[in-house]
Chains A and B, each alone.
Chain A
């Protein structure tokens, strides 16, 4: 029988993979993709808790997280395209100046 702990364990594994990706990748696009993994892992634990506690609030929070993630991705990709046009690269190390 699949219990809450299995879902939480899966969520923890995905979150750890996402953390490794966010910190070790130099490509900004891959960092943004790993950030999506972090959000997906937390969404999974929210839905699992919602199911096992009998409360709809977890699913509603997931709904809002998806909306905010869509906004974040739109702005982040716009900044990546700008960065590529300005610097000619999308390596995070190349961002050394505060003002363009």
Chain B
């Protein structure tokens, strides 16, 4: 077994284990921390695929910023409240398992037919900052600029939500 295959197997196994923990762990803190582990493994798989820039961005933005958000919210809300650790399952439990298994078997079938059709070899492209940046600032300039607009709209949305919360929070306090 050569080196990339070895690393692929290790990171794939950890990724599957961590994503199972994301879904099935009881404590929300463990959910968030196992998602950090899953993102780390995903980033390593991106490195194996030689998508260096996207892998680093994934690690920085997800594990660095988004999941700290999640941790912050988990700790802001009362973690020991009984609503958090409830083991009661949704009434859609059966449907969830059914949809998941259906999708998994569909993936198996699709990959089987894909294997029969052709066997592709990896190309020699390397997603370094230089190559990705060159395409990002020429062909994909408009979407790139539009994402800044999206971020601005998100800031407006969060500020207006927070201001509304302050107003209603005062009202709720009066009622109590």
Contacts and interface: CB of A to CB of B under 8 A. Distances in A.
Interface string A20-55: 111111110110111011001001100110111111
Contact of A56 (B32, B65, B131): B131
Interface in A49-68: 50-56, 59-60, 62-64, 66-68
B70 A70 contact: no
A4 B35 CA distance: 24
Interface in B1-40: 2, 4-5, 8, 12, 15-16, 19-20, 22-24, 28, 31-32, 35, 38-39
A74 B150 CA distance: 12
Contacts of B140: 60
Contact of B107 (A16, A62, A100): A16
Contacts of A1: 2, 5
Given A20-B23, A21-B23, A81-B77, A51 B122 contact: yes
B120 A68 contact: no
23 contacts: A2-B5, A9-B111, A12-B103, A12-B108, A12-B111, A14-B38, A20-B96, A23-B90, A33-B32, A34-B22, A47-B45, A54-B123, A56-B131, A59-B54, A62-B51, A63-B53, A63-B132, A64-B143, A66-B62, A70-B66, A77-B73, A78-B157, A90-B77
A71 B84 contact: no
A17 interface: yes
Given A7-B45, A27-B84, A63 B70 contact: no
Given A8-B107, A21-B24, 9 more contacts: A26-B88, A26-B90, A29-B70, A30-B23, A56-B131, A68-B150, A69-B62, A85-B168, A91-B83
Tell me the interface secondary structure of chain B in the complex: helix
A9 to B, nearest CB: 6
Interface residues of B, number: 88
B86 A26 contact: yes
Interface of A: 1-10, 12-27, 29-30, 32-34, 36-37, 40, 43-44, 47-48, 50-56, 59-60, 62-64, 66-71, 73-75, 77-82, 84-86, 88-93, 100
A94 B83 CA distance: 11
B107 A9 contact: yes
A33 B22 contact: yes
Nearest to A84: B77
A37 B90 contact: no
A21 B34 CA distance: 14
A30 B35 contact: no
B100 A16 contact: yes
A73 B111 contact: no
